[in-house]
């Protein structure tokens, strides 16, 4: 049952081959067995999950079910969920119980989906390895000595280890796509504004975007049908007509133009990753696609631009965590200023403090024009590169990450090397474009490799079609870690 797709699970539930309660209990038992080592989940609530499952079974019995009714999902612990502990992977919110549902959580609830629990993540979504979480590092199910990627590492590990049917993630600079690649699953970062950020704890507001993570492109399409849509509570939510993201899945790829950026295939790319991506491109040629070389000349500036802009926004967003209204408060302090200082010093981890300090610096008087304003100009140039590229191609492809999953602790003392893990993904966020990662083979040490597919604005349906047709012709997305 744990190997079935969302569509197949929906059929099993509709045909009364299994009940939602039984399916939910199956996953809860697996979590109890495997999670102590993998550490994919931060918070579980069996009673709440089983109560939702019982309600879902009633909906199915009353013929009121939608495609995801009764299916157990996991939710990244960055989404507020009413009655659930919502920590964002931080000591600062260790005991925070959300009083309301995020838009994404509400949409899954309306669909009758089951919330199995909240998944582990880098603290406040800051990291590329899921090692900055206050609740401990997550282990990659393919090799427990390696990272699952971040910040949605808990989600990626849970999906790969079959500890949920599928799950949600968020992507600020690659945090859906990079862990999807490192854990051998599929993940989609939609166009900025397509999925509401309401109730999603903010890191960098102009970059953050929620998206689905699952085993296949078809699963992602079904989840997007639930997650996407206008939300008046989010000022950046885009008012567009609802669309069916499954509508183009069956279309053949004859005539598809694939752009290959020369900047993605040069120095820094692991030979094993490059080989797997090249073989995937060859498979697309067999499916009728043609390849054109393109250039994204300013993509090399994406990492430095990102690490000016994202920390600047984080510095502002995280100022709300001061020990006054909610979250952690220092036990001893002399006055209000002392309480602020001790609360934030004790409540935030090292990586969060580093980014707050960088962000405060680049926004300070005398440095705003030199750093922040210049980074915004570079951001515009990066976006213009993509506009020019799409005059010559329909989708852009390349590696998701320059290497397969690295060892736990390997890059902990070198933040710059850690930041470079997202070198192929960050430009997509800076431009606000949709991007996704799908499994395309294995590299060194038999670790998964991800193929990144980047689409034009609002082109998610085409991207999902491109990924789905590849997955019909290959079985990389069906592979499971040994022992799982």
pLDDT in tens, 64-117: 999 999 999 999 999 999 999 999 999 999 999 999 999 999 999 999 999 999
Nearest to 125 by CA among 97, 98, 153: 153
Domain end among 362, 377, 392: 377
Same domain, 108 and 240: yes
Nearest to 92 by CA among 103, 77, 102, 71: 77
The length of the chain in residues reads 484
pLDDT in tens, 120-135: 999 999 999 999 999 9
At 47 the three-state DSSP class reads: helix
Same domain, 220 and 334: no
Query: Is residue 92 in some structural domain?
Result: yes
Residue 299 falls in the annotated catalytic set: no
Catalytic residue chosen out of the listed positions 175, 302, 403, 421: 175
- The predicted pLDDT at position 415 comes to 82
Query: How far is residue 164's CA from residue 27's CA, in Å, rounded to a whole number?
Result: 6
| Full residue range of the structural domain in which residue 152 is found | 6-255+462-478
Return the structure tokens found at 125: 């979504």
Query: How far is residue 283's CA from residue 184's CA, in Å, rounded to a whole number?
Result: 18
Measured CA to CA in angstroms, residue 454 lies from 38, 167, 368, 441 at distances of 30, 21, 31, 19
Same domain, 304 and 250: no
Same domain, 236 and 162: yes
Same domain, 238 and 328: no
262 pLDDT exceeds 90?
yes
Residue 206 falls in the annotated catalytic set: no
pLDDT in tens, 197-255: 999 999 999 999 999 999 999 999 999 999 999 999 999 999 999 999 999 999 999 99
Same domain, 162 and 245: yes
Please give the biggest Cα pair distance in the chain: 70
Same domain, 243 and 157: yes
Q: Kindly indicate the confidence band of residue 293, based on its pLDDT and cuts at 50, 70 and 90.
A: very high
Query: Is residue 50 in some structural domain?
Result: yes
Query: Is residue 290 in some structural domain?
Result: no
- The predicted pLDDT at position 413 comes to 80
Measured CA to CA in angstroms, residue 101 lies from 50, 78, 154, 197, 317 at distances of 18, 11, 20, 11, 19
Same domain, 238 and 307: no
Catalytic residue chosen out of the listed positions 10, 76, 137, 186: 76
Domain end among 329, 354, 377: 377
- The predicted pLDDT at position 364 comes to 93
Catalytic residue chosen out of the listed positions 5, 90, 129, 151: 151
Query: Is residue 182 in some structural domain?
Result: yes
Same domain, 218 and 314: no
pLDDT in tens, 393-440: 999 999 999 999 999 999 888 888 888 889 999 999 999 999 999 999
CATH number of domain containing 120: 3.90.1300.10
Task: Give the side-chain half-sphere CA count within 13 A for 116.
Answer: 34
Beta-bridged to residue 137, according to DSSP, are none
Whether 192 contacts 166, CB under 8 Å = no
483 pLDDT exceeds 90?
no
| 96-99, long-range: CB < 8 A, 24+ apart | 96/326, 96/327, 98/199
Counting the structural domains of the chain, the total is 2
Same domain, 359 and 469: no
Same domain, 241 and 355: no
Measured CA to CA in angstroms, residue 404 lies from 171, 177, 182, 379 at distances of 19, 13, 6, 28
Residue 76 falls in the annotated catalytic set: yes
Q: Chain-wide mean pLDDT for the chain?
A: 97
pLDDT in tens, 23-34: 999 999 999 999
Domain end among 336, 356, 377: 377
Same domain, 158 and 216: yes
Sign (positive/negative) of CA torsion 246, 442, 153, 34?
positive
Query: How far is residue 266's CA from residue 420's CA, in Å, rounded to a whole number?
Result: 14
Query: Is residue 315 in some structural domain?
Result: yes
């Amino acid at each position: 049952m744990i190997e079935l797709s969302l569509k197949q699970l929906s059929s099993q539930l509709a045909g009364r081959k299994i009940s939602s309660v039984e399916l939910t209990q199956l996953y809860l038992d697996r979590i109890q067995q495997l999670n102590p080592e993998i550490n994919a989940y931060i918070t579980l609530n069996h009673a709440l999950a089983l109560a939702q499952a019982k309600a879902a079974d009633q909906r199915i019995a009353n013929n009121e079910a939608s495609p995801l009714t009764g299916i157990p999902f996991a939710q990244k612990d960055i989404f507020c969920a009413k009655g659930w502990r919502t920590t964002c992977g931080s000591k600062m919110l260790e005991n925070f119980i959300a009083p309301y549902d995020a838009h994404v959580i509400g949409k899954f609830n309306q669909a009758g989906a089951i919330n199995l629990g909240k998944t582990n993540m880098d603290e406040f979504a800051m990291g590329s390895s899921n090692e900055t979480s206050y609740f401990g590092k997550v282990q990659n199910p393919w090799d427990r000595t390696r990272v699952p990627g971040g910040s949605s590492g808990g989600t990626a590990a849970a999906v790969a280890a079959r500890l949920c049917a599928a799950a949600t993630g968020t992507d600020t600079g690659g945090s859906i796509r990079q862990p999807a690649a490192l854990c051998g699953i599929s993940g989609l970062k939609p166009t900025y504004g397509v999925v509401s950020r309401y109730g999603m704890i903010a890191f960098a507001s102009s970059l953050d975007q929620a998206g689905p993570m699952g085993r296949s492109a078809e699963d992602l399409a079904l989840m997007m049908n639930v997650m996407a849509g206008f939300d008046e509570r989010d000022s950046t939510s885009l008012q567009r007509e609802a669309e069916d993201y499954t509508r183009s899945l069956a279309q053949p790829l004859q005539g598809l133009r694939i752009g290959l950026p020369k900047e993605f295939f040069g120095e820094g790319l692991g030979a094993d990753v490059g080989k797997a991506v090249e073989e995937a491109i060859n498979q697309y040629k067999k499916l009728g696609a043609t390849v054109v070389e393109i250039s994204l000349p300013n993509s090399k500036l994406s990492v430095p631009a990102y690490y000016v802009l994202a920390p600047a926004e984080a510095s502002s967003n995280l100022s709300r965590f001061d020990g006054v209204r909610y979250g952690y408060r220092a036990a001893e302090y002399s006055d209000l200023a002392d309480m602020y200082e001790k609360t934030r010093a004790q409540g935030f981890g090292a990586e969060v403090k580093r980014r707050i300090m960088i962000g405060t610096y680049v926004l300070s008087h005398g440095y705003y024009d030199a750093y922040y304003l210049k980074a915004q100009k570079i951001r515009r140039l990066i976006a213009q590169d993509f506009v020019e590229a799409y005059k010559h191609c329909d989708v852009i492809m390349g590696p998701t990450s320059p290497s397969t999953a690295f060892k736990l602790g390997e890059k902990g003392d070198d933040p710059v090397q850690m930041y470079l893990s997202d070198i192929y993904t960050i430009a997509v966020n800076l431009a606000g474009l949709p991007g996704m990662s799908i499994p395309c083979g294995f590299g060194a040490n038999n670790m998964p490799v991800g193929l990144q597919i980047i689409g034009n604005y609002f082109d998610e349906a085409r991207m999902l079609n491109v990924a789905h047709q590849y997955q019909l012709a290959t079985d990389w997305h069906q592979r499971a870690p040994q022992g799982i």
